[in-house]
Chains A and B, each alone.
Chain A
């Protein structure tokens, strides 16, 4: 015998560690790429919908101002809606532990406020806001079926570093 078992065990560990280090570096690249692809999609999905409400409200505010409208209910709905959207994070809130934002709740409030605004204006709301009522996923072909779906799949990311799993930050 020209080796003893101790040496062999040690050598195995060395090989394993070497492989692990290389694999880890490679895995990080893949994690970043895959995470980025998902984050892009979710960020787009959510903010496309929110931007829609925001643009809708802002444009109507300009219209009402132009008409010297005294429609206080519409104006108040617009102010509230814009205020709610301003609270919505533009970066993934799980990466900043500063807030206890309830994202799904905020989303529901925004959709409801948008629909209230539509009602005061006598305008038919877009289908994408339907999720606010029944809690179901967006039935339409809108690119913004954000609530439930986004909540889950973003959650998937959070699940992997267990430290980040909290109930109120669902993405």
Chain B
């Protein structure tokens, strides 16, 4: 400290500096808060449209198509309509139901590709309010519901294997698609192209 300055002077400078930095940070923060809200609202729709068109709709459709195919095949096999000769309806029905069950267990959250930007941004937030970075209330509810389902499966299934299974992956979906296709071929059909 400069001994020429009186303590009084020194103190006044400090007070002024801290007032100054308080004012500046108050206004920076106020602006930041308003800005983050406005920025978020300005981008929600664009994000929604992107997620809908590029990820949700195409993946949903491909899963839906497979579920539709298998539902149709099960109905056909159960309908008593004539089958190609040498085909055992009962056995095929078993395979069809197995495929159908496995498809029914597939969740979007199992197979959706990660949102890399979201993950990257969440990492930037580490140490801050990381928990509420990307999760909207509604999606959180869904996640909670899914883990509740898992829990009930585990309790209800007991020793049966079903509840213990790992979550499906995109590879599992692909192999189900192959089984589905083989099944259709056995029936003299090919999977129709949408």
Residues of A within 8 A of B (CB): 8, 11-13, 15-63, 66-67, 90-92, 94-95, 121-123, 126, 143-144, 153-154, 157-158, 160-161, 164
Inside 8 A of B44's CB, which chain A residues have their CB?
Answer: 31-32, 34-35, 157, 160
Whether B69 lies near A161 (C-beta < 8 A) is no
Can you sample 25 A-B contacts with CB below 8 Å? A13-B27, A15-B24, A16-B31, A17-B31, A18-B31, A19-B31, A23-B37, A27-B38, A31-B41, A31-B47, A33-B115, A33-B118, A34-B44, A36-B118, A37-B118, A39-B51, A41-B139, A55-B68, A55-B192, A59-B68, A59-B189, A61-B192, A63-B76, A90-B61, A154-B48
Inside 8 A of A46's CB, which chain B residues have their CB?
Answer: 56-57, 60
DSSP class of A's interface residues: helix, strand, loop or mixed?
A: helix
Inside 8 A of B189's CB, which chain A residues have their CB?
Answer: 59, 62-63, 66
B73 at the interface (CB under 8 A from A): yes
B190 at the interface (CB under 8 A from A): yes
DSSP class of B's interface residues: helix, strand, loop or mixed?
A: helix
The 9 closest A-B pairs by CB, nearest first: A51-B64, A43-B56, A55-B68, A35-B47, A27-B39, A23-B35, A19-B31, A39-B51, A31-B43
B88 at the interface (CB under 8 A from A): no
Whether A23 lies near B194 (C-beta < 8 A) is no
Whether A23 lies near B45 (C-beta < 8 A) is no
Inside 8 A of B56's CB, which chain A residues have their CB?
Answer: 39-47
Given contacts A57-B68, A59-B73, contact A91 B53 (CB under 8 A): yes
Inside 8 A of B32's CB, which chain A residues have their CB?
Answer: 19-20, 22-23, 26
Which residue on B lies nearest to A16, using beta carbons? B31
Beyond known contacts A19-B34, A29-B117: 14 more, CB 8 A cutoff:
A20-B35, A23-B39, A28-B39, A33-B133, A33-B134, A44-B55, A44-B60, A47-B58, A49-B64, A50-B60, A55-B194, A66-B188, A91-B53, A164-B45
